Amino acid sequence: KNQVEQSPQSLIILEGKNCTLQCNYTVSPFSNLRWYKQDTGRGPVSLTIMTFSENTKSNGRYTATLDADTKQSSLHITASQLSDSASYICVVTLNTGGGNKLTFGTGTQLKVEL
């Protein structure tokens, strides 16, 4: 079982609508959580990063929330645009005794249609 689970696996929405993507993790001890956007045929690009003490972080129309108690994060996209069509990946940093380790979710594939 993946230590970082994302849902839904895929999502189709109409342009202008809002949507929320979910990330549940079991990684512990937790250092930080990052959301990446990956356009088709490109590498992932960071959207937000949150430490365990942060509840919310915004980047334009993207707002990430974190509940470290329930080990859940969400990424809310407001007023979606066609360019938001991409895969959104949740990444959790595990703080091990020998250094940090990243655990990647499998991503949510978002398609924004007219």
Partner 1 sequence: DAGITQSPRHKVTETGTPVTLRCHQTENHRYMYWYRQDPGHGLRLIHYSYGVKDTDKGEVSDGYSVSRSKTEDFLLTLESATSSQTSVYFCAMGQLNEQFFGPGTRLTVL
Binding of partner 1 at residue 12 (CB under 8 A)? no
With CB under 8 A as the contact rule, the residue among 42, 67, 79, 111 that binds partner 1 is 42
The residues, any chain, with a CB within 8 Å of residue 95's CB and separated by 6 or more, are 29, 30, 31
Binding track over 72-101 against partner 1, x by CB under 8 A: -----------------x-x-x------xx
> For residue 95, which of 29, 35, 2 has the smallest C-alpha distance?
29
How many Å apart are CA 99 and CA 102, to the nearest integer? 10
Using CB atoms within 10 A of its CB, is residue 98 exposed (0-12), middle (13-18) or buried (19+)?
exposed
- Only one of the segments 17-25, 28-36, 53-61, 65-73 lies at the binding site for partner 1 (rule: CB under 8 A); that segment is 28-36
Binding of partner 1 at residue 11 (CB under 8 A)? no
How many Å apart are CA 49 and CA 46, to the nearest integer? 8
Per-residue DSSP letter, 44: -
What is the closest distance, in whole angstroms, from the C-beta atom of residue 114 to partner 1 in the complex?
27
Binding of partner 1 at residue 26 (CB under 8 A)? no
Residues at the interface with partner 1 (CB under 8 A): 2, 4, 31-32, 34, 41-46, 49, 89, 91, 93, 100-107
